[in-house]
Amino acid sequence: MADCIFCKIAAGEIPSNKAYEDDKVLAFYDLDPQAPTHILVIPKEHIKSAAEIDETNSALIAHVFEVAAKLAKELGLDNGFRVVTNCGESAGQSVHHIHFHLLGGRDFTWPPG
Ligand code: DGP
């Protein structure tokens, strides 16, 4: 998508601090970290939000979760971590390219605010 910031990051047109990359998925450090470890894991393909997950893209989303688990292991988040996706306005989604926040390195409360 021409005006999507995460499509531009995925294409390398906007620089990012990468944690992982393959042909389908990119993981990069969030510019406004909410935990000692805060990485965004995205499919390179433009999917707007979790509301658009269906049988045509669910294998790709499963791959996103494989990458999140691999990163959590590599980064030593053995005490626990959180994977969050904000979907839509009420949930606070500000970038409309699906992304999964991988957060770790501190304790988290439940329910989230
Ligand atoms: P959300 O509110 O769930 O849509 O999260 C969007 C996140 O994306 C937010 O934590 C800040 C981050 N973000 C926005 N623009 C950029 C950017 O250009 N680079 C990086 N690294 N992170 C960004």
Q: For residue range 34-65, what is the model confidence (pLDDT) as tens digits?
A: 999 999 999 999 999 999 999 999 999 999 99
Confidence of residue 26 (pLDDT cuts 50, 70, 90): very high
**What is the rounded distance in angstroms from the CA atom of residue 24 to the CA atom of residue 64?**
9
pLDDT confidence of residue 76: 98
- Ligand 1 atom with minimal separation from the 14 CA: 18
φ/ψ of residue 73, rounded to 5: -65, -50
Cα-Cα end-to-end distance for the chain: 31
Q: Is the CB of 16 under 6 A from ligand 1?
A: yes
**What is the rounded distance in angstroms from the CA atom of residue 52 to the CA atom of residue 35?**
27
pLDDT confidence of residue 2: 83
